[in-house]
Every structure is written in C-alpha cells, then in structure tokens.
Amino acid sequence: MSKLTLSVDDRVVSRAKLYAKRRGVSVSKMVEAYLAGITEPAPPSMRDAPILRSVRGSLKKADLDDYRKHLAAKYR
C-alpha cells in the first residue's frame, strides 16, 4: 500500500470526514474507490449496454448547422 499526500481545502476535508464517518468508511477508502473508478476500464456490460448499441452510429450523417439552427429556434 502506498501513501499519497494531497492538498485539499480545509472545508472540503471537514465535509469529506463527516461524509465518511456517516457511512462508516475512511476518507482514504473513499479516495481509493474514486481513483479506482476513474482509472479502471468499464466492464464489458457497461461498454456495450443495449441503450448505447441502439443509438451507436445514429448521428454519423447529422448536419451540425441544422442542429444549431434547431437549438437557436428552440431556445428563443
């Protein structure tokens, strides 16, 4: 196990400690879980979720100018 030194705002540290205490976990474990979550590749079940498969490739022929016009009209 390696040690890591971080510089974090005192208020953030206080809130993190309170959050961790309420959940019965250490701040170190929370940081470790976060870092593991952002650095590990998504499991195949998440990369190939049915909703993603259903929309994959649907915007290949989309016209960006048409989309901008649509947004401009929608939010007038």
pLDDT at position 45: 65
* Contacts for 26 with CB less than 8 Å, ≥ 6 apart: 20
pLDDT digits (tens, 9 = 90+) for 17-73: 999 999 999 999 999 999 988 888 777 666 667 777 777 777 777 888 888 888 899
How many structural domains is the chain composed of?
Answer: 1
Parent domain of 30 = 10-57
**DSSP letter string over 30-47?**
HHHHHHHHHHSPPPHHHH
- Do 20 and 26 contact (CB within 8 A), yes or no? yes
pLDDT at position 54: 77
Q: Tell me 57's DSSP state.
A: T
Helix (H, G, I), strand (E, B) or coil at 68: helix
Residue 33 lies in a domain: yes
Residue 63 lies in a domain: no
HSE on the CB side for 43, CA within 13 Å? 1
Residue 41 lies in a domain: yes
Residue 62 lies in a domain: no
pTM of the model as a whole? 0.53
